[in-house]
């Protein structure tokens, strides 16, 4: 049996990520243990809490269902936020290069190119501009090539406590092998580590970065 607080919090999470109103029937189908009266009571409480705490969100009943929406008075701020450039998604070549750096660091650009088989100059520059990669020193060989490694921003981007939290090479291989069969079925709202973002965050993800060759 769901506790009332758990029921209210779970409904809030579902309404937060939903891109459209959620009907009573759908809520009842998800929370089978709760009675219609309990659902109505917790929805009313959630609406009241949004009002009392001065939240930027409000619970509305629209199109035969419930939805958490932003308050009209904050529309100007939202438009300004959505018109600003959001963080770009990493392209597959960038992810592959970043994976090599994260597992092989410190590593030179020549060593990366030997593994990938292509020029990575532009990709490394992009990763450095995003502060995911940094120069960590110079290799003690003729020419003293730069050594690259990951940054604190890299850990933050992927939600890792430290480098020991990286998946093993075997796990990484298994994830990559299963990627093609799961990509189409995966909800685009689901991001790293199972965290789910609201619809507005999904819309702010620009196209993947192109691979750039070094000039």
What is the CATH number assigned to the segment(s) 4-74?
A: 1.10.10.10
In the chain, residues under CATH classification 1.10.10.10 are: 4-74, 94-178
**pTM (predicted TM-score):** 0.46
- Residue 46: which of 82, 97, 92, 10 has the closest Cα? 10
As a whole number of angstroms, the distance between CA 33 and CA 63 comes to: 25
Beta pairing class for 65-70 and 22-23: antiparallel
Does residue 214 register a pLDDT over 50?
Answer: no
As a whole number of angstroms, the distance between CA 17 and CA 199 comes to: 6
As a whole number of angstroms, the distance between CA 215 and CA 211 comes to: 13
**β-pair partners for 107:** 148
- Using H for helix, E for strand and C for coil, what is the string for 42-111? HHHHHHHHHHHCCCCEEEEEECCEEEEEECHHHHHHHHHHHHCCCCCCCCHHHHHHHHHHHHHCCECHHH
Tokens for 116?
């990938």
* 159-189 per-position pLDDT tens digit: 788 888 887 656 655 555 554 444 434 333 3
Tokens for 108?
């030179």
As a whole number of angstroms, the distance between CA 51 and CA 58 comes to: 7
* Cβ atoms 170, 177 nearer than 8 A: no
Per-residue confidence at 85, pLDDT binned at 50, 70, 90? low
Does residue 212 register a pLDDT over 70?
Answer: no
Show Cβ contacts of residue 71 under 8 Å, excluding neighbours closer than 6 positions: 55, 56, 57, 58
Looking at domain 94-178, its CATH class is mainly alpha
Give residue 157's pLDDT: 80
Choice between 32 and 83, residue whose per-residue pLDDT is larger: 32
* Cβ atoms 21, 66 nearer than 8 A: yes
């Amino acid at each position: 049996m769901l506790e009332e607080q758990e029921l209210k919090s779970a409904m809030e999470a579902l309404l937060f990520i939903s891109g459209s109103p959620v009907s009573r029937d759908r809520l009842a189908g998800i929370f089978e243990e709760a009675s219609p009266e309990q659902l109505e009571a917790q929805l009313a409480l959630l609406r009241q809490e949004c009002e009392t705490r001065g939240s930027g969100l409000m619970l509305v009943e629209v199109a035969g269902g419930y939805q958490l929406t932003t308050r009209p008075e904050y529309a100007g701020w939202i438009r300004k936020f959505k018109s600003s450039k959001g963080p770009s998604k990493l392209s597959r070549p960038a992810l592959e290069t970043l994976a090599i750096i994260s597992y092989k660091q410190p590593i030179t650009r020549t060593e990366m190119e030997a593994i990938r088989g292509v020029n990575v100059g532009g990709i490394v520059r992009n990763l450095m501009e995003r502060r995911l990669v940094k120069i960590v020193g110079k290799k003690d060989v003729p020419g003293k090539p730069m050594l690259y490694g990951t940054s604190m921003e890299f850990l933050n981007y992927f939600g890792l406590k430290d480098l020991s939290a990286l998946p093993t090479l075997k796990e990484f291989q298994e994830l990559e092998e299963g990627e093609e069969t799961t990509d189409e079925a995966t909800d685009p709202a689901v991001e790293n580590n199972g965290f789910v973002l609201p619809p507005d965050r999904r819309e702010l993800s620009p196209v993947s970065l192109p691979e750039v060759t070094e000039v």
